[in-house]
């Protein structure tokens, strides 16, 4: 086998291996304030809990509180407890572009309040995450 063909096959194999661990974003919500996405590839379930990453894309640039840096998307790690219907928010990374692209604007640890497991609020984006991760079936009453 010629060296160039071997090199091309090696590069193709590396690309396929990289794609295997790539994020698999699925949109859960969209409204005027932004879009909520979950990375299905990041979901890890264990004993009634699920750890995962979610992304928020903003229609307009947001500004950091302590600087003039602007960001258009964030990726956050979270944990839900399906049975108790609670969520704990982990660290967040902010990006200059949508879809977690562009320059990393900042890395933010959760506040103690965010890190503490709290009830999922009805109608919130947390509820959308909880429903998706915990695969909760919705029963629609007959009219």
pLDDT digits (tens, 9 = 90+) for 90-139: 999 999 999 999 999 999 999 999 999 999 999 999 999 999 999 854 44
The Cα–Cα gap between 74 and 135 comes to: 24
Please indicate, yes or no, if residue 36 is contained in any of the structural domains.
Answer: yes
What pTM value is reported for the model? 0.79
Q: Is 97 part of any domain?
A: yes
Number of domains observed in the structure of the chain: 1
Give me the CATH number covering residue 105.
2.40.128.710
Residue 16 is assigned to a structural domain of this protein: no
Question: Could you give the CA distance from residue 110 to residue 108 in angstroms, rounded to a whole number?
Answer: 6
For residue 12, is it within any domain? no
Distances (CA, A) of 25 to 12, 39, 71: 23, 4, 19
Per the domain annotation, does 125 fall within a domain?
yes
* Boundaries of domain holding 129: 23-134
DSSP count for the chain of H helices, then E strands: 3, 8
DSSP for residue 98: G
Q: What's the rounded Cα separation, in Å, for the pair 110 and 24?
A: 24
């Amino acid at each position: 086998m010629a060296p160039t063909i071997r090199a091309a096959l090696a590069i193709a194999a590396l690309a396929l291996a990289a794609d295997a661990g790539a994020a698999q974003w699925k949109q859960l919500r969209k409204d005027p304030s932004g879009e909520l996405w979950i990375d299905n590839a990041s979901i890890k379930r264990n004993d009634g809990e699920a750890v995962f990453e979610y992304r928020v894309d903003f229609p307009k640039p947001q500004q950091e509180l302590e600087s003039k840096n602007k960001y258009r998307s964030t990726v956050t790690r979270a944990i839900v407890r399906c049975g108790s219907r609670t969520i704990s928010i982990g660290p967040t990374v902010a990006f200059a572009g949508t879809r977690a692209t562009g320059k990393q604007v900042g890395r933010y640890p959760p506040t103690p309040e965010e890190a503490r497991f709290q009830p999922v609020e009805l109608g919130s984006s947390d509820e959308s995450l909880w429903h998706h991760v915990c695969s909760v079936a919705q029963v629609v009453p007959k009219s």
